[in-house]
Structures are given as structure tokens and as C-alpha cells.
Amino acid sequence: MTVTMHQVGEHAVLLDLSPLDHSGDEFAVATEGRAVPMPNLVASLWERLMAARESGTFTATDVVPAARTILVDGVSADDARSIGAVVDDWESTGFARAAMGLSEADVPVIEIPVTFDGPDLATVAELWGTSTHGVAEIMRDADLRVAFCGFAPGFAYMSGIGAERAVPRRTSPRSRVPVGAVGLAGEYTGIYPRSSPGGWQLLGTARDATLWDIARPNPALLVPGTRVRLVS
């Protein structure tokens, strides 16, 4: 298969989708020559794996998507073989279609009100060759989607602004970023679920969204696959 499976210790495997960046003719045929963004590929395979686990194809404690990989933890050698078969099937029976179909309307959209008052608005405006109003407009128009979580409980890395708008992290991280701060790093948009140190370029504030609440049945507001729109 084109996706590489690495053994990780005694009971985990890491699926690496990076080869799909450069996999040439076969991939181009499957995707009808269109470029499929990496976050869409990861999301598509993650959903397939979650469904397969749900249906009992394999057991695992955790299925963890990231930027270009998916870690499956708590698996036996038999489970790893079944996971390999799921990946093969995903590749051969239309992973491209699944990846293309990610933004279809059947996934509900969470709207998050944001005030664009962040200290790095001007920096990002300059990087994008637009005004601070232009940045706000681009962000409101973006069809964001949670690619993966990490860094802190409930911190979602949202794809959707596109690789061409990727911005570097701040060269010196802030020692304190307030809760609700909306920022950019690389091609990801994130919202700080709690106050913490952080190096993201801050665009604004989501004052009313509770991103993480341990008392809720689903403590994280933004889970992988969630579609998000930033609104005024």
C-alpha cells in the first residue's frame, strides 16, 4: 500500500500518509488528477478507521489523527493486520472519492462568534498582502474542519485556510495567551480552550465558546471531523 505502516512499540501502529504527497501516476488517476489536501486525506482515513473499529473489524483504545499520520494504539498483531486491510481497502475503493466528499453538506457546521481584535492581525495581513479587514473576511469565509486535536485537551487544529496561506509561528512564544484566543500556525486555525503559553499568531477572540468543559458528556466542543465557521 502507499500509506506506510510503522510498528510503534509493543501495541501501536503509526499510519503515515506522507507518501501520498508524491505517489505519482496511480494517485493522480485515483483522484482524477486533482490535488487532495493532506488534511482531507487524513480525515477520510480516520473516519474509515473509526467506522471499522465501531463495527468490530479491529479493537483499539485510541485512534489519533495528526497532520500527516494516524496513530492506532492498543492493538494486537491481528488488529494491525486488520488495520492494514482497512487501509488497503480505503486506497483501492475510492479514498479519493471519500477525500473529495469531505465538505459535503451532511456534516453539521458549528458557528463560533469571533471578534477580530488580535495582536497579530497586522502581521498576518502583511503576510497575506491584504488589510486587517481582509484577514477577517478571509477567516469568516473559510470552511474550517477539525483535522486533529493536541497540545491541550480540546485544542483543535482546524484545516481550511489552505497551504498557500500558511503562516509561521511567532519567533518568541507568548508566556500567556488568553482563553478563547483565535490564532493561526502553519495552515491551521486554533482556539485556545484555556489560558496557556503559546506561539500562534493571534487574530481575535471567541468570547462565548466553551471549547472544553469536563462536566459535559462530550467535554470537547471541537472533535476531529467537525466543520466550523467563524462568524461576527
List residues near other proteins by CB under 8 A: 6-10, 12, 14, 16, 61-71, 73-74, 148-155, 214, 219-220, 223-224
Kindly report each contact of residues 178-182 with a partner whose C-beta sits within 8 Å and lies 24 or more positions away, as own/partner: 178/205, 180/205, 180/206, 180/207, 180/209, 180/211, 181/118, 181/205, 182/114, 182/118, 182/139, 182/206, 182/230
| Closest CB 167 distance from other proteins, rounded Å | 14
| Closest CB 156 distance from other proteins, rounded Å | 8
| Closest CB 193 distance from other proteins, rounded Å | 8
| Closest CB 224 distance from other proteins, rounded Å | 6
Minimum CB distance to other proteins smaller for 62 or for 117: 62
| Closest CB 212 distance from other proteins, rounded Å | 8
Q: Rounded CA gap, 13 and 71, in Å?
A: 6
Minimum CB distance to other proteins smaller for 71 or for 179: 71
**Which grid cell sits at 165?**
496561506
Burial per residue of 63-87, b for 16 or more beta-carbon CB atoms within 10 angstroms, e otherwise? bbbbbbbbbbeebeeebbebbbebb
Minimum CB distance to other proteins smaller for 136 or for 193: 193
| Closest CB 82 distance from other proteins, rounded Å | 19
Minimum CB distance to other proteins smaller for 128 or for 151: 151
Name residue, grid cell 482515513. 45
Minimum CB distance to other proteins smaller for 120 or for 187: 187
Minimum CB distance to other proteins smaller for 67 or for 138: 67
